[in-house]
Amino acid sequence: MRKTRSIAAAAAVMMTALCVPLGASAASGAHFTLADVESVDSSTIDLGGEKWLKVRELADDKDYVITVKNSKGEQLAVTVEDDEKKGTVWHYFRQTMVSSSSPRFTTLASGKYYLVCSGDKLRTAYTRSVSGDLVWEHSGSALRYTEGNDYYYLKYDEDSDEPLSVTTELSEAAEVSIYTNGEQLERCIVEQPHAESYVIEGSGYSAPLFTVGLADVTADSVSWYVDGERQDCAELSFAAETLRGRSAGIHRVSCLVEAHDSEGVRYRERSEDAVFVVAKGVVPDSVLTFSDVHEEYGLIGDAIGRVIEFTDGYIPSLIVCTGDLVNGPKADTDTMLERYYPRIIAELGGLDAVFASGNHDDGMAAAVMSAEAGLGAGEPSAAGGVIFRGSSEAASRNGKNSRSAKGVAVYGLNQEAVMLLRDGATAYTYEDALGDLEAFLRETAEDYSGELVIISAHTGLHTLGIQPDSVNRNGVGLTDWVGENQYNIDRSYDLAALINRYAEQYDMDIMYLFGHDHSRGETELLMKRGSELISTQSYSERTTGSQKLGFTYAHAGYLSTAIGSADTNFSFIYRDGNGFAYDLVRASDGSVRHTDVEARFVSAETTSAAASTTETSTATASAASAGKTENPKTGDSMHAALLLLPIGGLLLSRKKKVFTEGEPPRAVSQDTENGTQV
């Protein structure tokens, strides 16, 4: 089950992010002591009639009992006590939703008191502000506290009047065990179940196989679920017979694993949902894109489901993930690839996807993730580069749904591309990005024949508070020069001018899609060709320049729910007759803001096709029924009813509210016949 951070939790984030002193009054009369607990077995304790199970690591937003072992081998629980009561259960909190450069910060709290190390003493409240890391970790058999670059360990002296203290020597550290309860205990899943590919409705596909991989543990039980219903399977691999013959849509598969290891540590973990996609076909030259999912990965599957719902059974050609896939201080390459990437893959349902990094992500990890998709990405680079080229041999050979995106090229402008080290500090500038982007545009222009060129960037080009379109969700303008300069980036004007030059000289259809600004409360904006863009020339000098846009400039959509103006929005972009459609869709309720975007490049073929919609659609349906292809990852033969040509407009198959730029909300509908739009 997915959960959204509450208002109270968000307030806690604000408090802890500042490391605000809690005040001496909070700690008055409180001290640390130890309490007896009953050991049930080597991995279980009993506290007041409640069973707590031994785990290895502290996890965010969970309760723990922390014990030390005395000379008799007995477990004693770390307790905070005042004149009124004792607190033996400690809540662990990890600060997230902060800038990439913020220090790590965690707390262990029991009621109003905190377990805090200050110098060589334990304290029950914060008494000063600290700018570096403040982190509690269970490391081996020790409870370790990190302050900046210094390590401290919980120490236990059973002969002292104050038995609990801290030490800088690991050899003096107490033997500490931690226990928790609830649905999730220690994590043990190292390979998330996922669908290898989507399947086609009515193709007679085999039962999809899902597998979960475990760490070096002994599994006690494995339970599989399909759309919330428990299945009759207790193995690590599950052939989902119940998913055969389903109609177009998404279905969720997950498993719950209970296990133990040789040290008595107990594991219980529910896997990420593995999305299974059944589709009627693929919308050609279409892109589902979003930014800032911030670990709410279930929303990716929800977005895919919305597209299938809107198109009466069809899926996008490509998914583009534009940064801030994770929370908290910036994740390194290994953490991104080993911990988070498998969770994202599980939610993609076997659809092709490429990635650009944000300020919370690692650029090299994003580049590797795009390269592993094998869809025409260049050599992995932390700064980014071409991450998809539909006309490439690689995309034709390795793509599944993306084989229908031959008219799309994507350049990933990673956050690292705009970070330049100057005099020991980070400057945010497009200075180093200009050359690489121009090389991509030059190469694309040499053989340009009407592709939709998407520049997927985490950061934008407009100046917050100066650009008139830059407003919050209530339509109120933002404060001038709000935020640090990772929002109003040096030489934004030059980058916009570069894109303009190629768009105008070669009649290239270019869309610059970005995210990130949600943390400043800015609502999603879309500016079409001819709009006036105000961009930063120099952040330090507060200078800007304005120019008419020769391309489309828009937010990719903020898919998360837990920060700023983010509101589960994603963008669905597709070719529409002589132009393109840009739909900003809210995954939570299906509302749509529709915008028509005129194409710069209009081929004679496109014009002819738009004039003979019925003839083209009939020919497409005929070709689809005659052709056969291999159903991805099932080995079955199927009719290749894969293409949906949205000539004259991709209309929604159900009545939906559509918020069109400059128009009041309207409802549209579409008739369908045999899965082919007419």
- DSSP secondary structure string for all residues of 521-563: TBPP-EE-TT-EEEEEEETTTTEEEEEE-SSEEEE--B--SSS
Residue pair 601/407 in contact (Cβ under 8 Å)? The answer is no
DSSP SS3 for 186: strand
- The strand ranges marked E within 242-329 are 249-260, 266-270, 274-279, 281-290, 314-322
CB 554 within 8 A of CB 572: no
> DSSP E strands: which ranges in 626-675?
628-630, 637-639, 656-658, 666-668, 672-673
Query: Cα–Cα–Cα angle for 245, 247, 250, nearest 5°?
Result: 110
Residue 15 sits at φ, ψ, to 5 deg, of -65, -50
- DSSP secondary structure code for residue 429 in this structure: B
Q: Can you tell me which residue has the tokens 């599980």?
A: 346
pLDDT score of 25? 37
pLDDT of residue 608: 52
pLDDT value at position 483? Answer: 67
Tell me the chain's radius of gyration from C-alpha atoms. Answer: 27
DSSP states of 48-63: TTEEEEEESS--TTEE
Report the 10 Å Cβ neighbour count for 186.
22
Run means of pLDDT, 10 residues per run, the chain, 678 residues: 39 40 50 93 91 94 95 94 92 82 89 87 78 89 91 93 93 96 92 96 95 96 97 96 95 96 93 96 97 92 96 98 87 88 95 94 94 94 96 95 97 94 87 96 95 96 91 82 81 98 97 88 89 95 96 93 81 94 93 94 61 38 34 38 40 38 31 24
- For helices 613-626 and 604-611, give the axis angle rounded to 10 degrees: 100
What per-residue confidence (pLDDT) applies to 29? 75
Q: What are phi and psi of 227, to 5 degrees?
A: 50, 40
